[in-house]
């Protein structure tokens, strides 16, 4: 296994300056409406400033001149301040500037008095996300894990992920102890709501393939909703791959110390056969799998106290 901390940076950050002015009055937000009514879909990139795949996909779609044939389609480059600091010699550093943009999505933070670069941007973008019927949030991962969709806990999130038919893994989860993610914000997470958000982890941060997965996820969503005509000269969608598997997250292992260590270099989506297998040590405390065929979801490579080290899931379909 290649150590993901030394994964080569195959992708190049696109120049998003041409998209800065947009047409909404908010920097780096472009919104296109069709005459025909339909849903408002938000394609969201750069929640994390070092995750290039979403920026590449949105830049390609905007340059392609993609327009909705119904409804409204909005392109958001979220944490552009962090992205502006991306340095391929130190590519992890630009994940955020002050704090993780994807842990701020509760009234406590958004309406609170605290200030940070990310909070300022979140407050500006909040009405855009609140007006979305469907949000596709494009991310990537540190480890060389197979692409997966995080669909939250709602049935409609799961249905949307399965409707896309891709990527193969669909993970139903409730987020992190460290703060709410955008896909868990407000009406996206209400059990009986009509607003739906999913997050696609498109692959390892800087692999060429990861940007292809991001672009393909956008196109599949919009084609599935009959909001675009198939792009004539655009990328060809590959045939649907493996049947999808749904994993329900049952536990989040939050590290209680800086001394958290895994027992093996897990990359994620490993299926651990036997209940009671030791997968890590947290300051002398053994971390055990709670049931047979336990799936390890996105183990963190650098675990800090109070942060999610790994989530555990059960295959349900
Ligand atoms: Zn991310």
Predicted local confidence at residue 235, as pLDDT:
65
What is the token pair recorded at 127? 């009405």
In a domain, 240, yes or no: no
Q: How far is CA 21 from CA 17, 75, 83, 283, 285, in A?
A: 8, 12, 17, 50, 52
Domain range for 69 is 4-224
Predicted local confidence at residue 219, as pLDDT:
94
Cis bond leading into 167, ω under 30°?
yes
Interval between CA 26 and ligand 1 midpoint (Å):
22
Which of 173, 190, 224 is the last residue in one of the domains? Answer: 224
Interval between CA 93 and ligand 1 midpoint (Å):
13
Asked whether the CA dihedral 221, 227, 233, 236 is positive or negative, the reply is positive
Predicted local confidence at residue 8, as pLDDT:
85
Beta strand segments in the chain, E = 29-33, 40-45, 72-77, 134-141, 148-150, 169-172, 196-204, 245-254, 261-262, 271-272, 278-282, 285-288, 294-297, 308-315
Same domain for 298 and 216, yes or no, is no
In a domain, 99, yes or no: yes
Interval between CA 272 and ligand 1 midpoint (Å):
25
Mean pLDDT of 2-9: 64
pLDDT at residue 131 greater than cutoff 70: yes
pLDDT at residue 234 greater than cutoff 70: no
Predicted local confidence at residue 178, as pLDDT:
73
Residues within 5 A (CB) of ion ligand 1: 48, 51, 139
Please choose, from the candidates 293, 294, 64, 269, the residue with its C-alpha nearest in 3D space to the C-alpha of residue 170: 269
Same domain for 114 and 263, yes or no, is no
54-81 confidence digits (pLDDT tens): 999 999 999 999 999 999 999 999 999 9
pLDDT at residue 180 greater than cutoff 90: yes
pLDDT at residue 135 greater than cutoff 50: yes
What is the token pair recorded at 270? 């490993």
CATH number at residue 303: 2.40.50
Task: Please state, rounded to an integer, the average pLDDT across all residues of the chain.
Answer: 93
Please choose, from the candidates 177, 170, 168, 142, the residue with its C-alpha nearest in 3D space to the C-alpha of residue 300: 142
pLDDT-derived band at 2 (thresholds 50, 70, 90) equals very low
In a domain, 237, yes or no: no
pLDDT-derived band at 166 (thresholds 50, 70, 90) equals confident
Same domain for 256 and 141, yes or no, is no
CATH number at residue 119: 3.40.630.10
Interval between CA 301 and ligand 1 midpoint (Å):
14
Predicted local confidence at residue 308, as pLDDT:
87
Structurally, how many domains does the chain consist of? 2
Predicted local confidence at residue 201, as pLDDT:
97
In a domain, 234, yes or no: no
What is the token pair recorded at 134? 């469907």
14-36 confidence digits (pLDDT tens): 999 999 999 999 999 999 999 99
Interval between CA 110 and ligand 1 midpoint (Å):
19
Interval between CA 50 and ligand 1 midpoint (Å):
8
């Amino acid at each position: 296994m290649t150590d993901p901390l030394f994964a080569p940076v195959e992708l190049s950050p696109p120049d998003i300056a041409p998209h800065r002015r947009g047409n909404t009055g908010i920097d780096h937000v472009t919104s296109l409406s069709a005459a025909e009514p339909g849903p408002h879909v938000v394609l969201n990139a750069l929640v994390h400033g070092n995750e290039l795949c979403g920026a590449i996909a949105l830049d390609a779609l905007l340059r392609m001149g993609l327009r909705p044939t119904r409804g409204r389609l909005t392109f958001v480059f979220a944490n552009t301040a962090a992205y502006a600091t991306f340095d391929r010699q130190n590519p992890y550093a630009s994940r955020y500037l002050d704090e993780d943009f994807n842990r701020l999505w509760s009234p406590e933070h958004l309406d609170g008095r605290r200030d940070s670069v990310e909070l300022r941007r979140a407050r500006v973008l909040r009405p855009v996300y609140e007006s979305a019927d469907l949000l596709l949030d494009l991310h990537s991962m540190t480890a060389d894990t197979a692409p997966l969709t995080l669909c939250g806990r709602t049935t409609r999130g799961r249905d949307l992920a399965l409707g896309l038919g891709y990527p193969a893994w669909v993970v139903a989860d409730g987020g992190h102890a460290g703060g709410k993610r955008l896909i868990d914000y407000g009406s996206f997470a209400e059990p009986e709501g009509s607003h739906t958000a999913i997050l696609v982890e498109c692959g390892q941060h800087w692999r060429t393939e990861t940007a292809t997965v991001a672009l393909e996820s956008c196109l599949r969503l919009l084609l599935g909703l009959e909001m675009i005509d198939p792009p004539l000269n655009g990328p060809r969608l590959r045939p649907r791959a493996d049947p999808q598997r749904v994993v329900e997250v049952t536990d989040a292992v939050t590290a209680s110390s800086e001394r958290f260590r895994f027992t093996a270099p897990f990359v994620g989506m490993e299926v651990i056969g036997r209940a009671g297998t030791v997968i890590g040590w947290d300051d002398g405390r053994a971390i055990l799998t709670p049931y047979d065929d336990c799936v390890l979801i996105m183990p963190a490579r650098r675990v800090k106290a109070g942060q999610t080290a790994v989530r555990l899931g059960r295959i349900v379909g």
